[in-house]
Structure 1
Amino acid sequence: MSLNAAKKLIKDLKRKGHQAYMVGGVVRDFLMKSKFSDIDITTSAKPYEVMKLFKTVPTGLKYGTVTVLYDNAQFEVTTFRQDGPTSDFRHPDSVIYSDNVNDDVQRRDFTINGILMDDYQNIYDYVGGQQDIINKIIRTIGDPDQRFNEDALRMLRAIYFQSKLGFIIEEETKRSIRRNRHLIQELPMERVHTEMIKILKGEHLKTALESMIETGLDEVLPGLEKGIKYAATLDLMPYVDPFFALAFTLNNGIVPAEWPFSNIHRNKYQKAAELALKTKEFIDDVNLYHYGLEISILANKVNAFRGIAKHAEKKIIAAYEALPVKSELDLALTSQEILDFKNKKPGAWLGILKKQMIEDILLKKVSNDKNSLYKYLESKA
């Protein structure tokens, strides 16, 4: 996203008599010389004033935020504000607009995200964020208990920034997470799930998992406690799918209903855990056929992480490619040919027979060709 477009937008706001700054992740990443994607802007202009000046989408009017479409880019522009109390541990019940940018900075989450930058790239730091970037520290702005009670997701955000940046979490912030961890259970699981995915993609995942154990966050995430504790001991990290499959395998194969996984992901983790628990060194042709290639590879990864199998992705792919049948459609005899040969009407018996036929082909008891299968049918009463 263009920094130049953001500077032009800020200049336009200033020309109309408003204060405006870039804030948050963009300033942090700019100072760290890292890539950034979203650019957030904070301004003294009220939402209706911003909407008069630019083409906008009212994405968060309740919280003073509009999305400005400017110079082929989108910017979240939020009015300087103070937050009222929260009753859902996530969003303020009300917001109070302010003319003082420092009021806006003081309500933000971490010092590293509370630094401002203007259109000339001048830096304004009221919270010691630059020093914390230099020292690689994640610290809340102000009282951590207050920050986490305002928005409980910030506890997982601290872990996410650790996983992404490799910073350490400041001691009082860490102790506060431990004290307030139960508030995670008040949040919508969709938000917790989204944050977990981001944590599990981080380059410094091992450190983040260790912090989750230290703060007790692992205890308030359904079905993940054993997985987090186990994964933190590994040298090679399981990222996202292998992590969830490993955690649910260690959770006796149970995928807790609270997690808002898609049906595809829920089935993937459930089946991979089931297969991992029933196999060890190798996955035989029958299981490879029934579970399919993707789940078989995932189950093998889980068992490799558990130390009871070797990583064998290439072998599993080769074995899958060599399967004589990969679905019922691969049978050398069609359903009609079986019905004609048996001289019987369709019924449940046909499905049962075909399943048995496939299993016997996979067990190499019969070849998948017409002659062999007709002889096989003769032997079946």
Structure 2
Amino acid sequence: MRLSPLPAEFEAAAPVLRRLNDAGYEAYFVGGAVRDALLHDRIHDVDIATSAYPAEVKALFKRTVDTGIQHGTVTVLQPQGQYEVTTFRTESTYQDYRRPDHVTFVRSLREDLQRRDFTVNALAMDHTGQITDLFDGLGDLQRHLLRAVGKPEERFHEDALRMMRAVRFQSQLSFTIEPATEAAIRHHHQLLEKIAVERINMEFVKMMAAQDRASGLKTFIDTQLYAACPGLAGQQTALTSMLADVPHRLAESGSVWLRLVFALGLAENAVGPFLRAWKTTNTERRQAARLLPVLAKIQAGTAGAWDLYQAGPEFDSVLLPVAAQLGIAVDQWQERYAALPIHQAHDLAVDGRTVMQAAPALRGPALGQAMTAMTQAVVAGQAANTPAALLAYIQKTQQTKDGQSL
């Protein structure tokens, strides 16, 4: 089969392949970019595999970077872009289910492709668009099937993360996992515990953010992969509840984590420790803890103006997509949020310095309390967001407090 015309991403990188070919080496586009081009999906990174050894690649190009030279990868810098060029290789035994003890550079394309994870990712394409398919990856693309290259048990023992990649691809591509491959995941799911949480985190987020996330999530549950993930052992019922979500894509990783902690029914103070175990970012942890109680009130229909304000700028981008998945009519909440007089602290018409000039007695914690009181008054519609109105409000409040203290 020949892919014609070549997508622009491959045309731009074709000079690298031709330079390698002209020097007597084999060179091919490989991996997900070839798969996505054949599926007419968006093409991401274009990777190149070659029979040239790293030193031979470096000798052919003026500008290179030793990206992963020990594993055969050299980045070639070209005017039109930069491309990772990796030498054909075989890999030894995997003692930790994550990385090979050592790699061996080879001149054989077959030996290189047979170590890859799934047949649809084991396709190679030359600079003319000619496809080399040694494991019926083209047939599996037509069948919308994810099948391990060779024996699935061997592939998953080499790198147990491939099991998470399977459910992630299932969600992203809307493919079915071939029965023997799925059975191997179910049988070896506990090997996922050997994998760094950061790597599992990335695949989980991609799975949950994909258009067909329900299919991947169902396999994630059915094969018990979830039991090898931080804090999810024994949470099958909570995870299964997410299968009933309304189809609505989550574009932000923060939405993925908010949806998960909501499904698990975590208390606000339990969110941080749970997400820390998942190696999420500080921003993601803060977002989830702040948005969780607001989401609960929105679902109950009891969220007030102050609740919406406390959600912050992530209300639209992070919280509402999760609410939409839960089947909540989000338009009215979006309108209510948009109608708030202010949305962030810096929207307030006065700052701390201005308030201290008007009320010199306000310092330290008292000043912070005064700023919060003014913010709440504006959000509730009890004070206009103008310097005059806010200063009058705080002076009246102070007079009331002084009178009460007497």
Q: Output the TM-score relative to the length of structure 1.
A: 0.87
Q: Which runs of 5+ in 2 are unaligned?
A: 1-7
Q: Tell me how far apart the structure 1 counterparts of residues 131 and 377 of structure 2 sit (CA, whole Å).
A: 72
Across the aligned residues of Structure 1 and Structure 2, the Cα RMSD in angstroms comes to: 2.9
The answer to whether structure 1 residue 233 and structure 2 residue 244 are counterparts is yes
The answer to whether structure 1 residue 312 and structure 2 residue 319 are counterparts is no
Comparing 25-34 with 300-309, greater Cα deviation is found at 300-309
Of 261, 267, 272, 1:248 maps to 261
Q: Tell me how far apart the structure 1 counterparts of residues 350 and 12 of structure 2 sit (CA, whole Å).
A: 61
How far residue 24 of structure 1 moved from its aligned partner, in angstroms, is 1.6
How far residue 178 of structure 1 moved from its aligned partner, in angstroms, is 1.5
Comparing 352-361 with 161-170, greater Cα deviation is found at 352-361
Deviations, residues 336-362 of structure 1 (Å, cap 9, x unaligned):
3223xxxx4735344345544554565
Judged with a 3 Å threshold, the aligned counterparts in structure 2 of structure 1 residues 311 and 117 are, in CA distance, closer, same or farther, namely same
Residue 54 of structure 2 aligns with an amino acid whose one-letter code is P
Percent of aligned pairs sharing the same letter: 32
Of 349, 368, 372, 1:351 maps to 368
Other-structure match for 1:377: 398
- Secondary structure class of the residue paired with 2:134: coil
Q: Which runs of 5+ in 1 are unaligned?
A: none
Q: Tell me how far apart the structure 1 counterparts of residues 125 and 344 of structure 2 sit (CA, whole Å).
A: 62
Deviations, residues 188-222 of structure 1 (Å, cap 9, x unaligned):
22222222232233222222222212222233333
Comparing 98-107 with 22-31, greater Cα deviation is found at 22-31
Other-structure match for 1:281: 301
- Secondary structure class of the residue paired with 2:138: helix
The answer to whether structure 1 residue 208 and structure 2 residue 216 are counterparts is yes
Q: Tell me how far apart the structure 1 counterparts of residues 331 and 226 of structure 2 sit (CA, whole Å).
A: 27
Other-structure match for 2:122: 114
How far residue 137 of structure 1 moved from its aligned partner, in angstroms, is 0.5
Judged with a 3 Å threshold, the aligned counterparts in structure 2 of structure 1 residues 170 and 15 are, in CA distance, closer, same or farther, namely same
Q: Tell me how far apart the structure 2 counterparts of residues 23 and 325 of structure 1 sit (CA, whole Å).
A: 47
Q: Tell me how far apart the structure 2 counterparts of residues 192 and 325 of structure 1 sit (CA, whole Å).
A: 34
Residue 395 of structure 2 aligns with an amino acid whose one-letter code is Y
Q: Tell me how far apart the structure 1 counterparts of residues 132 and 384 of structure 2 sit (CA, whole Å).
A: 76
Residue 312 of structure 1 aligns with an amino acid whose one-letter code is Q
Q: Tell me how far apart the structure 1 counterparts of residues 191 and 43 of structure 2 sit (CA, whole Å).
A: 30
Q: Is the 8 A contact 2:50 2:85 kept in 1?
A: yes
Of 93, 98, 120, 1:90 maps to 98
Following superposition of structure 1 onto structure 2, how do residues 216-227 of structure 1 map, counting pairs within 5 Å? Answer: 216-223=224-231, 225=235
Q: Is the 8 A contact 2:246 2:325 kept in 1?
A: no
Q: Is the 8 A contact 2:312 2:344 kept in 1?
A: no
Q: Tell me how far apart the structure 1 counterparts of residues 215 and 154 of structure 2 sit (CA, whole Å).
A: 25
Other-structure match for 2:172: 164
How far residue 229 of structure 1 moved from its aligned partner, in angstroms, is 2.1
Q: Output the TM-score relative to the length of structure 2.
A: 0.82
Q: Is the 8 A contact 2:48 2:86 kept in 1?
A: yes
Q: Tell me how far apart the structure 2 counterparts of residues 216 and 3 of structure 1 sit (CA, whole Å).
A: 39
Comparing 168-177 with 190-199, greater Cα deviation is found at 190-199
- Secondary structure class of the residue paired with 1:41: strand
Q: Tell me how far apart the structure 2 counterparts of residues 192 and 40 of structure 1 sit (CA, whole Å).
A: 23
- Secondary structure class of the residue paired with 2:86: strand
Q: Tell me how far apart the structure 2 counterparts of residues 361 and 230 of structure 1 sit (CA, whole Å).
A: 39
How far residue 147 of structure 1 moved from its aligned partner, in angstroms, is 0.5
Q: Tell me how far apart the structure 1 counterparts of residues 228 and 95 of structure 2 sit (CA, whole Å).
A: 20
- Secondary structure class of the residue paired with 2:94: coil
How far residue 264 of structure 1 moved from its aligned partner, in angstroms, is 1.7
Q: Is the 8 A contact 1:289 1:326 kept in 2?
A: no
Comparing 143-152 with 119-128, greater Cα deviation is found at 119-128
Other-structure match for 1:34: 41
Q: Tell me how far apart the structure 1 counterparts of residues 16 and 143 of structure 2 sit (CA, whole Å).
A: 32
The answer to whether structure 1 residue 193 and structure 2 residue 201 are counterparts is yes
Following superposition of structure 1 onto structure 2, how do residues 133-152 of structure 1 map, counting pairs within 5 Å? Answer: 133-152=141-160
Judged with a 3 Å threshold, the aligned counterparts in structure 2 of structure 1 residues 166 and 309 are, in CA distance, closer, same or farther, namely closer
The answer to whether structure 1 residue 50 and structure 2 residue 57 are counterparts is yes
Residue 266 of structure 1 aligns with an amino acid whose one-letter code is R
Q: Is the 8 A contact 2:209 2:249 kept in 1?
A: no
Judged with a 3 Å threshold, the aligned counterparts in structure 2 of structure 1 residues 248 and 56 are, in CA distance, closer, same or farther, namely same
How far residue 154 of structure 1 moved from its aligned partner, in angstroms, is 1.1
Other-structure match for 1:261: 280
- Secondary structure class of the residue paired with 2:312: helix
Deviations, residues 117-159 of structure 1 (Å, cap 9, x unaligned):
2233322221111111111110000111111111112112112
Comparing 140-149 with 13-22, greater Cα deviation is found at 13-22
Q: Tell me how far apart the structure 2 counterparts of residues 324 and 216 of structure 1 sit (CA, whole Å).
A: 42
Judged with a 3 Å threshold, the aligned counterparts in structure 2 of structure 1 residues 69 and 334 are, in CA distance, closer, same or farther, namely same
Comparing 92-101 with 369-378, greater Cα deviation is found at 369-378
Following superposition of structure 1 onto structure 2, how do residues 8-27 of structure 1 map, counting pairs within 5 Å? Answer: 8-27=15-34
How far residue 272 of structure 1 moved from its aligned partner, in angstroms, is 0.9
Comparing 14-23 with 346-355, greater Cα deviation is found at 346-355
Q: Is the 8 A contact 1:297 1:313 kept in 2?
A: no
Judged with a 3 Å threshold, the aligned counterparts in structure 2 of structure 1 residues 111 and 192 are, in CA distance, closer, same or farther, namely same
Of 186, 194, 198, 1:178 maps to 186
Q: Tell me how far apart the structure 2 counterparts of residues 325 and 206 of structure 1 sit (CA, whole Å).
A: 35
Q: Is the 8 A contact 1:82 1:104 kept in 2?
A: yes
Q: Is the 8 A contact 1:164 1:204 kept in 2?
A: yes
Q: Tell me how far apart the structure 1 counterparts of residues 40 and 396 of structure 2 sit (CA, whole Å).
A: 71
Comparing 10-19 with 359-368, greater Cα deviation is found at 359-368
Equivalenced residue count is 376
Comparing 180-189 with 59-68, greater Cα deviation is found at 180-189
Q: Tell me how far apart the structure 1 counterparts of residues 302 and 16 of structure 2 sit (CA, whole Å).
A: 59
